[in-house]
């Protein structure tokens, strides 16, 4: 009797999820050479490497626009679609916006199983529906390596925009999801992952940042916000530090890790994106005197996250209430550090403790 051969999506691509993106240093080199756009309605562009663009269309209304797509990082097509949608929506939430509409982006092999593509798109649509975001169309091209994602448009009051460049010395840093999706999905691709690790990573990657963003939006002391995705905690932390002209102090022992993340690193499941992130950001990262943490933990600080959580810089007097409110809303928020002034004449930086 013939048996049906199961196709593993992760075996069809060289790198999965946000680990498949261009290295941050390469992208920065190109973007820094582009001309500055002169448009008074462009409130947030790509100059500060923020999560989404903000374009004002009326006195009290602006568009939040972003696009995100990548290769499979899990084997189940429906789950891949869910993760791709959640990740694309996250950029709108990170700016404090409300997603309204989306366009699907599909790259798929000419000879690929259309049933697989249908399941991917069903998973994405299910997640968009949960977010209250309407998929209005899309575009597809033939590609030997499948890729999927969305261009998402949201709305926001220009006065309520949360950027990654307004952190204030004295703020506390809050992280809303554990890290480790990059190394765990790499372990899955290499056949080294335990199912419990994969299940924990998938749960994280399919959890919308909507609740976290809605709670954060109720606190006037939230000064800056970004989501932790392909450039990892250090890469996105670097952008916040540079954009705000401050130093971030990160307590490594407080940074939550997904079950199996340390085991995946120890098993050698290190994505290329992690190494690129480290090359890009490590020049700004130093250890406080007497700091003691393992090399595996250090590596996870650079792990490329897919559909990661929000990093929030909030006034110290509101930090406890923000964390409590998030936990009441089902968000696993934790305090992981603080914002301090740069040393006199010094540059923005990150210090690991």
pLDDT digits 0-9 by tens, 159-202: 999 998 999 999 999 999 999 999 999 999 899 999 999 999 99
Pick the CATH number of 172-352 from 3.90.650.10, 3.40.50.300, 3.30.70.2740, 3.10.310.70: 3.90.650.10
End-to-end C-alpha distance for the chain, whole angstroms: 60
Q: How far apart are CA 272 and CA 263, in angstroms?
A: 17
The b-or-e profile of 148-185 (16+ CB within 10 A means b, else e) is bbbbbbbebebeebbbbbbbbeebbbbbbbbbbbbbbb
Residue 49: partners with Cβ closer than 8 Å, 6 or more residues away: 28, 31, 164, 239, 243
CA separation (Å) from 314 to 168, 188, 229, 305, 338?
8, 36, 20, 22, 9
Q: Output phi, psi for 61, to 5 deg.
A: -145, 130
Residue 19: predicted pLDDT: 58
Residues 220-250 pLDDT 10s = 999 999 999 999 999 999 999 999 999 999 9
132's torsion region: left (phi>0), alpha (psi -120 to 50) or beta? left
Residue 345: predicted pLDDT: 55
Range(s) of the chain covered by CATH 3.30.1330.10: 9-160
Predicted TM-score (pTM) of this structure: 0.89
Pairing of strands 349-352, 285-287: parallel
CA separation (Å) from 221 to 4, 176, 247, 316?
56, 17, 18, 8
Residues assigned a catalytic role: 18
Residue 5: predicted pLDDT: 42
Q: Residue 248, Cα to own-chain centre: how many angstroms?
A: 18
Q: How far apart are CA 13 and CA 80, in angstroms?
A: 13
Residue stretches of the chain with pLDDT short of 50: 1-5
Domain 9-160 fold is 60s Ribosomal Protein L30; Chain: A; (3.30.1330)
49's torsion region: left (phi>0), alpha (psi -120 to 50) or beta? left
Q: How far apart are CA 198 and CA 146, in angstroms?
A: 21
Q: What is the mean pLDDT of the chain?
A: 90
Range(s) of the chain covered by CATH 3.90.650.10: 172-352
**Which residue matches tokens 């290329």?**
272
């Amino acid at each position: 009797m013939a048996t049906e051969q199961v196709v593993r999506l992760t075996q069809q691509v060289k790198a999965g999820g946000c680990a498949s993106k261009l290295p941050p240093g390469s992208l920065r080199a190109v973007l820094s050479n582009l001309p500055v756009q002169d448009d008074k309605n462009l409130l947030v562009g790509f100059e500060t490497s923020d999560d989404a663009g903000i374009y004002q269309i009326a006195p009290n209304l602006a568009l939040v626009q972003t696009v995100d797509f990548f290769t499979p990082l899990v084997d189940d097509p429906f789950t891949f679609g869910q993760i791709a949608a959640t990740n694309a929506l996250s950029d709108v939430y990170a700016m404090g916006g409300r997603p309204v509409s989306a366009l699907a982006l599909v790259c798929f092999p000419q000879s690929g199983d259309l049933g697989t593509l249908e399941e991917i798109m069903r998973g994405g649509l299910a997640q968009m529906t949960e977010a209250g975001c309407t998929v209005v169309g899309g575009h597809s091209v033939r590609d030997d390596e499948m890729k999927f994602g969305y261009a998402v448009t949201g709305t926001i009051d220009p006065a309520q925009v949360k950027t990654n460049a307004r952190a204030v010395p004295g703020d506390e840093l809050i992280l809303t999801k554990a890290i480790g999706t990059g190394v765990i999905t790499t372990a899955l691709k290499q056949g080294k992952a335990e199912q419990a690790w994969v299940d924990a990573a998938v749960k994280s990657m399919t959890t919308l940042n909507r609740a976290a963003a809605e709670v954060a939006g109720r606190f006037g002391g939230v000064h800056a916000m970004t989501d932790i995705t392909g450039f990892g905690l250090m890469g996105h932390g670097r952008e916040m530090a540079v954009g705000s002209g401050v130093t971030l102090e990160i307590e490594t022992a407080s940074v939550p890790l997904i079950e199996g993340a340390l085991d995946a690193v120890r098993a050698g499941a290190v994505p290329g994106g992690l190494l690129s992130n480290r090359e890009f950001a490590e020049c700004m990262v130093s250890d406080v005197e007497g700091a003691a943490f393992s090399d595996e933990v250090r590596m996870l600080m650079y792990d490329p996250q897919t559909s990661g959580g929000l990093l929030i810089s909030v006034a110290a007097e509101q930090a406890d209430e923000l964390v409590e409110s998030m936990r009441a809303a089902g968000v696993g928020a934790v305090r992981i550090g603080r914002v301090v002034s740069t040393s006199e004449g010094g540059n923005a930086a990150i210090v690991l403790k």
